[in-house]
Amino acid sequence: MAYNAYSLKEVANKPERLAAGHRMCAGCGSTVAVRAVMRALRPEDKAVVTLATSCLEVSTMTYPYTSWEDSYIHTAFENAAATTSGVAAGYAAKKKKGKLGETYKFITFGGDGGTYDIGFQSLSGAMERGTDMVYVCYDNEAYMNTGIQRSSSTPMYADTTTSAVGPDSDGKPQYKKDLTAIMAAHRIPYVAQTTFIGNFKDLHQKAETAIYTEGPAFLNVMAPCPRGWRYAEKDLMDICKAAVETCVWPLFEVVDGEWVLNYEPKNKLPVTEYLRLQGRFKHLFKPENAALLDRIQDDVDHRWEELKTRAGAL
């Protein structure tokens, strides 16, 4: 069923595949991402969900209880994609022998710690092998579950417990890893970057495309964390919108190697409009740190122009 075959209201009213009653924080982006991705499944299809250790895992599954309506596997940080790859291979073998008639889709969820860092090796391997699966990274830019430690997804100058701001530190000194581009370099059929904007159309379309693309697909979803980013619960959508309008988190996809820019702001906002919404960047607005803001702006501008060049938008 193509996206345009039904209305947004019909999409929103699909039965939930992540049940209410989990223990995630109010204002957390990860469960919003999960619900939206799972809603892209066709009603007649089933799913096997593999989930790396994370906030999402400990808050949606406490044995013997689970919030997941579909088949669910909790696996370690480092091997979520490998686990899915093995299960998908077993399913394909049984399907070929006529032992299974139902259609299953294989979806892995992982935070940035279990995706950008600890689980990257198994993710890269599953993509290279051509596993028919979707890997969804809900990117909250730090190891939130274990105490807000920096990851390779953490932005430059962000304040975390292991890149703490003080007299000897301005926050994390390194750039954020561009994992979406790295996954595109695997030359897999579908890679996309998205977040929560407006009516969720961009996220829904990309999730549906990823799930129903034959072969490996990767979806990177910005999913803010109120505790680690230090924002009020109600500001979740405003932060995501600011990330897109400042081009900190552009919306694009790579389809069979072709880069497609999905949205270009009419009036690109300065990066300060995004940073000022989050307490983790509060120190950057001191007068003596103006040069740090300039460095962030220069990096965002450079990456935005690079993306437009790749997508042929210049």
- Give the number of other Cβ atoms within 10 Å of residue 1's Cβ: 10
Instruction: Give the residue-averaged pLDDT of 198-221.
Output: 96
For 257, the token pair is 């190697």
Look at residue 25 and tell me whether its pLDDT is greater than 50.
yes
Q: How far apart are CA 83 and CA 112, in angstroms?
A: 18
- Domain span including residue 251: 3-310
Residue environment code for 133-158, b if the CB has 16+ CB neighbours within 10 A, otherwise e: bbbbbbbbbbbbbeebbbbbbbbbbb
Percent over 90 (pLDDT), the chain = 88
Task: Give, in order, the Cα–Cα distances in Å from 280 to each of 55, 262, 299, 313.
Answer: 19, 29, 18, 33
Q: Find out whether 300 and 270 touch, Cβ atoms under 8 Å.
A: no
Q: What is the CATH number of the domain that holds 191?
A: 3.40.50.970
Count of domains observed in the chain: 1
Look at residue 125 and tell me whether its pLDDT is greater than 80.
yes
Q: Find out whether 54 and 108 touch, Cβ atoms under 8 Å.
A: no
- Give the number of other Cβ atoms within 10 Å of residue 232's Cβ: 13
Q: How far apart are CA 264 and CA 251, in angstroms?
A: 8
Render pLDDT for 36-48 as a digit per residue (tens, 0 to 9): 999 999 999 999 9
Name the phi and psi angles at 276, rounded to 5: -70, -15
Render pLDDT for 131-153 as a digit per residue (tens, 0 to 9): 999 999 999 999 999 999 999 99
pTM (2 decimals)?
Answer: 0.95
pLDDT score, position 116: 98
Q: How far apart are CA 240 and CA 253, in angstroms?
A: 17
pLDDT score, position 6: 54
Q: How far apart are CA 206 and CA 298, in angstroms?
A: 29
